[in-house]
Amino acid sequence: MDILIVIVILLFLLAALFAYLGWQKSRQQPERPSARRDPFADTVAQDRRSFGIESLGPGSIVARGGVDYVVRGTITVRQGYYEWHEHLLDGGEGGEWLSVEHDEGQLKLSWWRTREDLALKPDHGHTLGEVQYRYRESGVADFSSEGTTGLPETGRVEFYDYADESGSRLLGLERFGLGAWEASLGEPITPGEVTVYPAPRS
């Protein structure tokens, strides 16, 4: 009889224990699945570090096609929340500059050559040789400069951007302040085409 009572008590205690554990589990919030992550986030972050204004600016070295260019000056252009950088380069054939912008998380690089022989003004399009450049966008923005740029520290810039049908050939017109329109021809490039060596910190 005593054994039966002990068994009943043990069964009661086990039932109470399982009931308590079940209650505790029901109180716990279900674990939320981890947020999905951009698989290329690390690559984008690396690109941002390599081509960000902290690494690329006056005194930096930009290597492309076996030629080392020194960044003499940097122009930062701001239009609302949008910002891009134009790095003026010394080396190669001269009059070259690298444009760096981040558009909706995408790093966009363009290599430009100033063409002082082209007396162009804003229009719906331009034809140079056999290449037809079509209007893409235009606007007015604020700029700041550092290093050797030939420009004041701050000011306003007007710009017109054109491209051929494939988007592989670019034409840009810029006018800083009340100056004359300056024409440049460019091409999109990939981060793998250039290597950036940051300027030594003093």
Least confident among 1-15, 100-114, 121-135: 1-15
Q: Which residue has the tokens 């003026």?
A: 88
| Own/partner pairs, 105-111, CB within 8 angstroms, 24+ separation | 105/44, 107/44, 107/47, 107/48, 107/51, 107/191, 108/188, 109/51, 109/188, 109/189, 109/190, 109/191, 109/193, 109/194, 110/170, 110/186, 110/187, 110/188, 110/189, 111/64, 111/186, 111/187, 111/189
Q: What is the pLDDT of residue 166?
A: 96
What tokens appear for 57 in the block? 């600016």
Rounded distance between C-alpha atoms, residue 171 and residue 162, angstroms: 5
SS3 107: strand
Give the pLDDT score at 26.
Answer: 61
CB 185 within 8 A of CB 113: yes
Confidence of residue 43 (pLDDT cuts 50, 70, 90): very low
Q: How far is CA 74 from CA 15, 97, 131, 165, 179, in A?
A: 75, 9, 30, 30, 19
- Quick one: pLDDT at residue 190? 93
Supply the pLDDT for residue 54: 66
pLDDT digits over 172-189, tens only? 999 999 999 999 999 999
Mean pLDDT (the chain, rounded)? 85
Q: Which long-range contacts (CB under 8 A, 24 or more apart) does 99-103 make?
A: 99/186, 100/51, 100/56, 102/48
Cα gap 160→126, rounded to integer Å: 11
Contact 194, 55 (CB under 8 A): no
Residue extents of the structural domains in the chain: 57-197
Strand partners, 145: 75
Q: Which tens digits make up the pLDDT trace of 64-87?
A: 999 999 999 999 999 998 999 999
CA separation for the pair 202, 193 (Å, rounded)? 28
In this predicted structure, the answer to whether residue 5 has a pLDDT above a threshold of 80 is no
Q: State phi, psi for 43 to the nearest 5 degrees.
A: -65, -45
> Is residue 35 very low, low, confident or very high in pLDDT (cuts 50, 70, 90)?
confident
